[in-house]
Structure 1
Amino acid sequence: MAEALWGKGALLSGIRIGHFTDLEALTGATVVLVEEGAVGAVDVRGAAPGTRETDLLLPENTVERVHAVLLTGGSAFGLRAADGVVRYLAERKRGFPTPGGVVPIVPAAVLYDLGRGKVHRPPGTEAGYQAALAAGEVVEEGGVGAGTGAVAGGVKGGVGLAGYLLEEGYRVMALVAVNSLGRPFDPLTGRLYGEDLLAEGERALLPDRSRYRGNPEDYRFPFLLGQNTTLAVVATDAPLSKAQARRLAIMAQDGIARAIRPAHTPFDGDVVFALALGEGKGVDPYTLLRLGAHAADAVARAIARAVLLSGSAPGIPAYRELVA
């Protein structure tokens, strides 16, 4: 059995998370800091991704460890925010050693939230720097950071965090920014697709849906086409190799498909990063299987938490308000 974790309990030792939130522009950035470095990998399933430094995460490439991962709004403009995280790390001499000094490795991915706020102000260098400065061990969820202007299938999206403690003693966590074309809930019943995975302590977040009456899903979406993407970071304290971290990211993608329908569409840029703390010596295949299975569960739970904890925004109803 594995113990479900959320809030501060889901965060791994050695990882800090920080948000930059711009409520006027309805956008923001979220950084996952691992200043001591972590083995990194990535899996890209969406057909419309916006990314930085993902090729170096492939198992056959040289760089093994990353020092932060950035999830940000602003579409392609938002990739500038990674420069602020690089500056933060460089000031602290954290990075890949080179003859000219350390080079911080900060992969990043963007979601589309342009035009949802009162002003056009995509996250820039200072947003990334401020998110890194704000990083800590208490993680705010809901409509903050990269999830500030997020929309999930017609309701307000956001940021969610969930994790597990496995009986082997390893932990796995998932941080997700949900801005999906697909819906996170059944439009006929209002039931969250990831609801079954919620732990008993999380189920208190569920609203009363007794008066909700909706329509069957027909998978026609006249709204928000091309304005989507779900981004996730899964992390573990198991000492995975780079190839095993890649498998963790691949398995974790299934959590998106469990909690959002449809997922990985032509209009989403779905990306999952994986981080493994430790020396990277690898684990046995059965342990990797268990970690990947729970990583997918953690992603699905994090998506449900993001939707449950996000309030409404101008023109975007909150899930809890819509179904209640």
Structure 2
Amino acid sequence: MTPGPKNLITDVPGLLVGNAQDDALKSGTTVLTSDSPFMASVHVMGGAPGTRETDLLAADKSVDRVDALVLSGGSAFGLDACAGVSDALYARRRGFPVGRAVVPIVPGAILFDLLNGGDKDWDDNPYRVLGRRAFETASDQFDLGSSGAGTGALTAMHKGGLGSASLVLDNGVTVGALVAANPLGSVTTPGDRHFWAAPFEIDREFGGWGTDPATGLGRQVISRKAQVMHPAEPDKTNTTIAIVATDAALTKSQCQRVAVAAHDGISRAIVPAHTPGDGDLVFGVSTGAREIRSTGPDLGMIGHAASICLARAIARAVYLAAPAEGDLLPCWSQQDGAATTDTGPV
């Protein structure tokens, strides 16, 4: 397996991603869409999810394809981004046909970034506008780090962000991941330099520092975020939300199995993960362009690749986060010795 040419989820042919953010708000929205509806399902492993229309993605529900998926900041307010995307789709007469009516299908998930230092004193909910703007700018190229839904994200120790990664399997199937990382846990080991996801890094895509040589890791859970945001209730300000996608032709239930497997990527990249205070959620997507065996090794390998892509995407989100005025936490790149060269860390 090797990364696709862009090392983005849009290496899956046909998928497009758009970002919109408000830097004063310190929040934003990311939309994944395509020129035609795609198969989707979802799996939730966090204890505090915030979602829209995810019940529709269960295998026994009648609608099996969606027009777009939304990842957004803003907590419950951010779910309004889905309405903005629906407005844009409706203007194009895209959606689920019911007689003469057309109903866009736009599930979404949110993360909590309301206490990150941005100006949240709005009169009108800004997320509907951000959702529509993100959809209308969707393309196969998009920014990572402090962009879109990752604009105001924070991990335990550093700014979080938006990340993506891809792999092309030996059989030609492409798998990609897109994530907004705002977890309760840390993305780096104690000392802040080494990423938990380091064993899965490819071509120094998040600095090339390698694995932490220390042993006995994970027994201490320290959080700068808890200290500066909500010391009394640190489990109320989190969540990692993600999409994994493939061009392999999968059923809705198979998309869910890939989403389940992809959660391993969260636990490989974030410690601790899937806590009661995280709303950790993964959407699984298939564009259906490439036929595979319906069960067995192909499906299992797609899930495995999705987990690796998601772990790498989480590390890339933090690695690429950029400093901004009013930040509560430092970026990974701001610490001493974080700079790298073409030949490795310096």
Give yes or no for the alignment of 1:295 onto 2:303: no
Q: Which residue of 2 aligns with 1:194?
A: 197
Q: CA deviation at 1:81?
A: 0.9
Q: Which residue of 1 aligns with 2:47?
A: 47
Q: Which residue of 2 aligns with 1:63?
A: 63
Change (3 A) 1:143 1:116: same
Structure 2 CA distance for aligned equivalents of residues 165 and 299 of structure 1? 14
Change (3 A) 1:209 1:57: closer
**Structure 2 unpaired stretches of 5+:** 338-346
Percent of residue pairs identical: 39
Question: 303, 306, 312: which one pairs with 2:317?
Answer: 306
Q: CA deviation at 1:106?
A: 0.5
Q: What secondary structure is seen at the aligned counterpart in 2 of 1:277? A: strand
Q: Deviations over 1:147-201 (max 9, x none)?
A: 0000011201000110110011110100010001100010146310011211125
What code does the residue aligned with 2:166 have? Answer: G
Change (3 A) 1:206 1:3: closer
Query: For residues 79-228 of structure 1, what are the structure 2 equivalents within 5 Å?
Result: 79-120=79-120, 121=122, 123-188=126-191, 190-202=193-205, 205-206=207-208, 217-219=219-221, 221=223, 222-223=226-227, 224=229, 225=234, 226-228=236-238
Change (3 A) 1:280 1:57: farther
Q: CA deviation at 1:279?
A: 7.2
Change (3 A) 1:106 1:257: same
Check whether the contact 1:190–1:323 (CA below 8 A) recurs between aligned residues: no
**Structure 1 unpaired stretches of 5+:** none
Q: Which residue of 2 aligns with 1:236?
A: 246
Query: For residues 259-274 of structure 1, what are the structure 2 equivalents within 5 Å?
Result: 259-274=269-284
Structure 2 CA distance for aligned equivalents of residues 7 and 207 of structure 1? 22
Q: Deviations over 1:43-93 (max 9, x none)?
A: 011101100000000011111001100000000011111101001111112
Q: What secondary structure is seen at the aligned counterpart in 2 of 1:97? A: strand
Structure 2 CA distance for aligned equivalents of residues 31 and 97 of structure 1? 22
What code does the residue aligned with 2:109 have? Answer: A
Check whether the contact 1:6–1:161 (CA below 8 A) recurs between aligned residues: no
Q: CA deviation at 1:97?
A: 1.3
Change (3 A) 1:182 1:132: same
Change (3 A) 1:216 1:42: closer
Q: CA deviation at 1:216?
A: 7.5
Structure 1 CA distance for aligned equivalents of residues 126 and 45 of structure 2? 24
Bigger mean CA offset, 59-68 vs 111-120: 111-120
- TM-score (normalizing by structure 2): 0.86
Q: Deviations over 1:11-47 (max 9, x none)?
A: 1221110001110010000000123011110001110
Q: CA deviation at 1:125?
A: 1.1
Check whether the contact 1:236–1:276 (CA below 8 A) recurs between aligned residues: yes
Structure 2 CA distance for aligned equivalents of residues 146 and 36 of structure 1? 23
Structure 2 CA distance for aligned equivalents of residues 125 and 315 of structure 1? 26
- TM-score (normalizing by structure 1): 0.92
Q: Which residue of 2 aligns with 1:317?
A: 330
What code does the residue aligned with 1:21 have? Answer: Q
Bigger mean CA offset, 314-323 vs 104-113: 314-323
Check whether the contact 1:187–1:217 (CA below 8 A) recurs between aligned residues: no
Q: CA deviation at 1:319?
A: 1.2
Check whether the contact 1:7–1:161 (CA below 8 A) recurs between aligned residues: no
Change (3 A) 1:257 1:243: same
What code does the residue aligned with 1:219 have? Answer: V
Q: Deviations over 1:221-273 (max 9, x none)?
A: 44351100001000100000111001000000110000000001111111100
Q: What secondary structure is seen at the aligned counterpart in 2 of 1:154? A: coil
Aligned residues: 318
